[in-house]
Amino acid sequence: MISILDEDFSQLNEFLHRLQPTQLLILVDENTHEYCLPRLLGNLETEIPFEIIEIEAGEEMKTLETAAQLWEILTEFETDRKALMINLGGGVLTDLGGFIASTYKRGIPFINIPTTLLGMCDASIGGKTGIDHQFLKNIIGTFANPEQIFVFPKFLETLPFEELRSGFAEMLKHGLIIDEKHWNDLISIKNLTPQSVFPFIETSMKIKQKVVEQDFTEQNIRKTLNFGHTIGHALESLFLLQGKPIMHGEAVALGMICETRISMLHGLISEETSNTIISHLRQFFPDIDTKQFSVEEILSLMRNDKKNSHGTINFSLLTGIGNSAYNCSVDAEHINKSLHYYQNLP
C-alpha cells in the first residue's frame, strides 16, 4: 500500500507495468508542476500515453467548480475506467484528485504521490477524499482508497518551512496518541528540516495506515486521530472568518495544547505529564493570540463540526504519552479552562 520510492522510482515503474492502465492522468498544481513533475516524468519508463492536468495551488481550489472542470477534462480526454489518475501534490490535490477519480464513471483507479509532509503523513492515507462547499470544509466527498501511495521524501526539500512544520504537528499527534517512541524521536529534533524528519516519515505513515485499516469509516479507533482537532478546527475556522488564516498544523498544535490540558482536567494524565507535553509542543510552534475569540464562538463551531452528533461535543483525549481514548464528552467549563490556561501561559 505504501512504497518509499528509490531515486529512480523503480517501484512506480513496476507498478505501472503490472497494472497496464490505458492512460495516465497526472494531476499537479502550479508548485508541484515546477518542483516535482520534472523528476516524475524523468523517471517514468513507460509507453502509456499521459496527460498533465494543472490546477492553481491552494485550498480555494477544492471546490465544485474545479471538480466540474476536471470531470469535463476527463471527458475531453476520453478517459475510460482503465485509466489511472496520478495525484502529485499536497493534501488539497490528493483530496480533490481522489474525489474526481472516485466519482468519474463511478470510479477509476488512482494513486497518490504526496509532496508535502502533511500529505505524506496524513492526507494521502486513509481514503478520505473531498471538496469544500459553502464555507464548509470537506463537506462533500467519498471514502475511496488509492491503489497505492508512493512517497519520495526528497520532494520536501522545496517545501516552505511553515508547510513542513504544519505536517510535523500531525506527526507529533501520531506519537502522542499511539507511539511513545515516535514522540520521543520527534521531540529530540533540534532543528526542523526536511532531512531531520526523513527517518520518521515512514513510521508516521504506518501509524495512520494501521489505525484506518482497523476502522475505515471512523466508527471507533480512527476517532483518536482527531486529537487536537476539535478545538484546533474551531480556532482555524475563526481565524479564517476574520481574514487572518493560520496554518492547519498551527491550529492543531494549539488544539493539542488545550486538549492535553483537558486530558489532565479529566484526570486521565498527571499535571506533570501534561506540562511536559505542552512544553515540547511550544518548542516547535509559535504562540498565537486567541483572546479575541469568546468561548461561546468556539463552542458553537465545535457543535457544528460534522464529527459531532446530536449536540454533544466528543473529544479524543490522551490517557498517557502514546495512549489515547475517544468519545470523551467534555463540558463547556473544561473547554473554557483549557483556553484560559493557554492564554495565560508565560
Q: Which residue do the cell numbers 479575541 mark?
A: 292
Q: In terms of residues, how long is the chain? A: 346
Of positions 24, 37, 53, 62, contacts ligand NAD by CB under 6 A:
62
Asked if 26 touches ligand NAD (CB under 6 A), the answer is no
Asked if 35 touches ligand NAD (CB under 6 A), the answer is yes
In contact, 93 and 28? CB cutoff 8 Å: yes
Stretch that binds ligand NAD, among 30-38, 183-191, 253-261, 317-325 (CB under 6 A): 30-38
Nearer to ligand NAD, 49 or 286 (CB): 286
Stretch that binds ligand NAD, among 41-49, 151-159, 178-186, 304-312 (CB under 6 A): 151-159
Q: What are phi and psi for residue 219, nearest 5 degrees?
A: -95, -30
Phi/psi class of residue 228: alpha, beta or left (left: φ > 0; alpha: ψ in -120 to 50)? left
Asked if 92 touches ligand NAD (CB under 6 A), the answer is yes
Give, in order, the Cα–Cα distances in Å from 264 to each of 83, 168, 332: 51, 24, 15
Residue 271 has which C-alpha cell?
Answer: 499535571
Alpha carbon distance 334, 339 (integer Å)? 9
- For the bound state, the minimum distance from the C-beta of residue 231 to ligand NAD, rounded and expressed in Å, comes to 16
Nearer to ligand NAD, 91 or 255 (CB): 91
Of positions 25, 87, 113, 163, contacts ligand NAD by CB under 6 A:
163
Of positions 87, 115, 237, 274, contacts ligand NAD by CB under 6 A:
115
Of positions 3, 32, 66, 230, contacts ligand NAD by CB under 6 A:
32
- For the bound state, the minimum distance from the C-beta of residue 180 to ligand NAD, rounded and expressed in Å, comes to 23
- For the bound state, the minimum distance from the C-beta of residue 109 to ligand NAD, rounded and expressed in Å, comes to 17
- For the bound state, the minimum distance from the C-beta of residue 122 to ligand NAD, rounded and expressed in Å, comes to 4
Nearer to ligand NAD, 122 or 250 (CB): 122
Of positions 3, 21, 26, 31, contacts ligand NAD by CB under 6 A:
31
User: H-helix or E-strand containing 149?
Assistant: strand 149-151
In contact, 117 and 124? CB cutoff 8 Å: no
Alpha carbon distance 53, 83 (integer Å)? 14
Do the bridges between strand 50-55 and strand 128-133 make them parallel or antiparallel, or are there none, so unpaired?
Answer: unpaired
Of positions 97, 126, 146, 255, contacts ligand NAD by CB under 6 A:
126
Alpha carbon distance 269, 312 (integer Å)? 23
Stretch that binds ligand NAD, among 112-120, 180-188, 283-291, 308-316 (CB under 6 A): 112-120
Stretch that binds ligand NAD, among 153-161, 287-295, 316-324, 329-337 (CB under 6 A): 153-161
Closest CA to 317 of 309, 326, 307: 326
SS3 123: helix
- For the bound state, the minimum distance from the C-beta of residue 170 to ligand NAD, rounded and expressed in Å, comes to 7
Stretch that binds ligand NAD, among 18-26, 118-126, 187-195, 229-237 (CB under 6 A): 118-126
Residue in the shown chain whose Cβ atom is closest to ligand NAD: 91
- Alpha helices, DSSP H only, in the chain? 10-19, 30-35, 37-43, 64-76, 91-103, 117-118, 161-178, 180-187, 194-214, 229-241, 248-265, 271-284, 295-304, 332-343
Which residues of the shown chain bind ligand NAD in the complex (CB under 6 A)? 29, 31-32, 35-36, 57-59, 62, 89-93, 95, 115-116, 118-119, 122-123, 126, 128, 137-138, 155, 158-159, 163, 166
